[in-house]
């Protein structure tokens, strides 16, 4: 699977500040003259938004395989309707979550076979991988506390501390396996400090 320059993903546990950093970094890149779109998974399209509702609604109890396939249904629409067309126009795409989240949540945390996830990836996005991924790393309890303070509650926030610990460990394992692509950022700092660190990495990577 090839890495595509101009395709950037943000990953991390609940409450790690991904959506904030997507906006800040998109603004920074626009100030440098880049055309940028911001998007999110699951979602990013009308169909994806409906699937997102199914996945995040707290009352929807679903089998892990159902969950996995819904994520890939959303991703299939997302890449074909939004990401591929933008890349073809040399637009920078910044996504809040991509395949790494699937591996961390449905693989490491839910216990689904990671080789199955890779096989689905080869079907759905055989030639698409971020050139750069920022993993916003944060203590699990701190992240969940942030979301409670923001009054954010979905199906994943209701999972156990142990579940979220497995998610975090999964992300860190991905970063260990792919250090050139995945850059670990300390998300316990202020949003401004975090974005400054991300910009340093971006500038070093794109020059």
The torsion defined by the Cα of 112, 20, 187 and 91, in degrees rounded to 10, comes to 70
Domain assignment present for 146: yes
CATH number at residue 8: 3.40.50.300
Domain containing residue 174? 3-41+87-205
Query: What are the pLDDT tens digits along the chain (207 aa)?
Result: 556 678 999 999 888 889 999 999 999 999 999 999 999 999 999 999 999 999 988 788 889 999 999 999 999 999 999 999 999 999 999 999 999 999 999 999 999 999 999 999 999 998 899 999 999 999 888 877 876 665 666 667 777 889 889 999 999 999 999 999 999 999 999 999 999 999 999 998 865
The pLDDT assigned to 143 comes to 72
Domain assignment present for 67: no
Asked whether the beta carbons of 47 and 77 are under 8 A apart, the reply is yes
Domain assignment present for 59: no
pTM for the structure as a whole: 0.92
Distance CA 4, CA 130 (A): 6
Domain assignment present for 58: no
Domain assignment present for 22: yes
Domain assignment present for 115: yes
Query: Can you count the helices (H) and strands (E) in the chain?
Result: 9, 5
Domain assignment present for 49: no
Domain assignment present for 61: no
Structurally, how many domains does the chain consist of? Answer: 1
């Amino acid at each position: 699977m090839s890495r595509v320059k101009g395709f950037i993903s943000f990953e991390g546990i609940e409450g790690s500040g991904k959506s904030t950093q997507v906006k800040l970094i998109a603004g920074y890149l626009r100030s440098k003259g880049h055309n940028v779109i911001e998007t999110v998974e699951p979602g990013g399209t009308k169909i994806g938004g409906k699937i997102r509702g199914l996945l995040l609604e707290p009352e929807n109890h679903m089998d892990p395989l159902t969950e996995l396939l819904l994520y890939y249904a959303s991703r299939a629409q997302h890449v074909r309707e939004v990401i591929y067309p933008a890349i073809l126009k040399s637009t920078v795409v910044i996504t809040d979550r991509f395949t790494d989240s699937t591996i961390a949540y449905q693989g490491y945390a839910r216990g689904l076979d990671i080789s199955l996830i890779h096989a689905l990836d080869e079907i759905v996005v055989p030639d698409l991988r971020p050139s750069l991924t920022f993993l916003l790393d944060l203590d699990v309890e701190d992240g969940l506390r942030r979301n409670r303070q923001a009054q954010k509650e979905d199906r994943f926030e209701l999972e156990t501390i142990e579940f979220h610990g497995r998610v975090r460990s999964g992300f860190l394992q991905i970063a260990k396996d792919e250090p050139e692509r995945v850059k670990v950022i300390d998300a316990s700092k202020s949003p401004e400090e975090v974005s400054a660190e991300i910009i340093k990495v971006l500038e070093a990577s794109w020059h």
